[in-house]
Amino acid sequence: MSEKKKIDFSKLKKLGEMDIKDLNKIFSKNSSSSKATSNSKFKKMVKASMEKPKNILAFDIGSSSIKMVTGKYFKNKLTINKLIDIPTPEGTVGDGKILGKQALADMIQFALKENRIKIKDVICTTNSSLVINREIVIPKVEEEEMETVIRYEIKQYLPINLNDYIIQFVVLDEIIDDDGAKLKVSVISYPETMVYAYYDLLNSLELNPYSLDIAYNSLNKIVNYSNLNEDNGEILGGAVAFVDMGATSINVTILKNGKLDFTRIIKTGGDNINYALSQSLDMSIKSTESTKIEKGNLLDIREDDIVNTTIRQVIDEGLEELERILQFYVNKSSGIEISKIYIYGGVANTEGIDLYMEEKLKINVEKITKLNNVDFSSKELLEEPIGEFINAIGAIIRL
């Protein structure tokens, strides 16, 4: 196999970042007193670890693969030491939920030993349709009152039991109108059971749960750190869309002026291509993965090219939904146009997909193949598919 929380005990205000305070709240409701004692020791260990730079292990756990990245972020400098890609055991992760803890833990334990990783502090970043993200507008209030106001307002938007969710938020903008000052806030509602499952997984591996991040927050950090939303030092005009083309979903994140402005999930991905190929070629789904990688090419498709005709049909379905989402964003944003699309993830490795998407969507499309300002400790790491690790790399940045 090739190499490839920052803890804040005050109120957490950063989107999608769960600190140990939040995890302990959940853990204490679901565990025995002995586990609570363990948590107390964990707090002391983490607090001490914050006083000096440390290497961190970041996991981006998907239904098809697990990306593992080791590195550190210190004095605004991000250094990456290892990039590791391992398969997710079948049936152990679905839509961001851990469904088979033991098999997942065994695979991770094997990878840690194989790659001689002894780092204990871990950040997990993930995404799920179960994680609810909404923009709301609230009256401008004092910081200590914001959480109460937001929880009240979010009840009006979502028919959920807030006791089953961890609510995090970030202020996007301040609005002044005839009724006075208001705040535009992005609110994320993270299921408690999902958070607890990640805590439990890391605990079983004797790893320290440093933080739980959400994929689009990890992305937002690395985009700004690497200046992906800039051209010649100037922030790109309009909005920039980042499209993560994974195994089970297409995650769409839109940044405006370098800030998170919009997210959506499309429920289609590489697994849909594999299934369609298995039907067209009359072969097992597992066998289609290598066929897709070896023969996939969206340029100059012949009529008798069953493989690429099938791939294109599935991708077209995803692009139709993507186009609808982008147009919805433009409409809700009073005509702010999408100036560029960045693509990354497994499906983004399909030959010619960037040019194909550009022709279909009439927007400049670029595949992420490098990250500016990131210090990779060896030249071999630069040969890895950097875009596939972008969420885990971004998770290491603690702001």
The two tokens of residue 168 are 């995090």
Q: Is the pLDDT of residue 22 over 80?
A: no
Return the CA Rg of the chain.
21
CA-CA distance, 86 to 92, in Å (whole number)?
A: 13
Residue 207's pLDDT is 95
Of the two residues 342 and 185, the one the predictor is more confident about is 342
- Delineate the domains of the chain, giving CATH numbers in brackets: 132-191 (3.30.1490), 230-367 (3.30.420.40)
Average pLDDT over residues 221-237: 83
Token match 């586990």: residue?
Answer: 35
- Is the pLDDT assigned to residue 137 strictly greater than 60? yes
Bigger pLDDT: 30 vs 322: 322
Average pLDDT over residues 182-203: 89
* Rounded average pLDDT over 235-247: 89
Query: What is the pLDDT at residue 43?
Result: 41
Q: Mean pLDDT of all residues in the chain?
A: 84
Instruction: Determine the Cα–Cα distance for residues 325 and 263; give it in Å rounded to an integer.
Output: 9
- Provide the β-strand partners of residue 229: none
Q: What mean pLDDT is predicted for residues 164-187?
A: 84
Q: Which two tokens stand for residue 338?
A: 């999408």
Which of 245, 251, 292 lies closest to 388 in space, CA to CA?
245
pLDDT tens across 82-117, in order? Answer: 999 999 999 999 999 999 999 999 999 999 999 999
Q: Produce one character per residue of 16-39: b if its CB has 16 or more CB atoms within 10 Å, e if not.
A: bbbbbebbbebbeeebeeeeeeeb
The residue-averaged pLDDT of 345-351 equals: 93
Q: Is the pLDDT of residue 229 over 90?
A: no
Residue 17 banded pLDDT, cuts 50, 70, 90: very low
Q: How sure is the predictor about 38, in pLDDT bands with cuts at 50, 70 and 90?
A: very low
Residue 153's pLDDT is 85
pLDDT confidence tier of residue 34, bands split at 50, 70 and 90: very low
Q: Report pLDDT for 52.
A: 55
Task: Please give the Cα distance from 108 to 316 (Å, whole number).
Answer: 35
Average pLDDT over residues 358-376: 95
What order do you get walking across the sheet with 56-61 strand by strand?
A: 208-214, 121-126, 56-61, 65-74, 77-87, 375-376
Neighbour count for residue 98 (Cβ, 10 Å): 19
pLDDT for residue 60 is more than 90: yes
Alpha-carbon distance 249 to 246, whole Å?
Answer: 5
Q: Which two tokens stand for residue 296?
A: 């996939």
Q: What percent of the chain has pLDDT over 90?
A: 55
Q: Which residue has the tokens 């919805």?
A: 328
Confidence category of residue 42, pLDDT binned at 50, 70, 90: very low
pLDDT band for position 134 (50/70/90)? confident
Question: What pTM value is reported for the model?
Answer: 0.82
Helix (H, G, I), strand (E, B) or coil at 26: helix
User: How does residue 218 score in pLDDT terms, banded at 50, 70 and 90?
Assistant: very high
If you search the block for the tokens 């800030």, which residue do you land on? 259
Q: Minimal CA–CA distance to 394: which of 217, 256, 229?
A: 217
Q: How does residue 309 score in pLDDT terms, banded at 50, 70 and 90?
A: very high
Contacts of 43 (CB under 8 A, 6+ apart): 7, 9, 20, 24
Q: Cα–Cα distance between 139 and 106 in angstroms, integer?
A: 49
Per-residue pLDDT at 258 exceeds 90: no
Q: Which residues contact 55 (CB under 8 A, 6 or more apart)?
A: 70, 71, 72, 81, 119, 121
Distance between CA atoms of residues 267 and 187, nearest Å: 22
Q: Is the pLDDT of residue 199 over 70?
A: yes
Residue 367: which of 358, 375, 376 has the closest Cα? 358
> Sign of torsion, CA 169 173 174 178?
negative
Average pLDDT over residues 332-345: 92
* Segment 183-192 mean pLDDT: 86
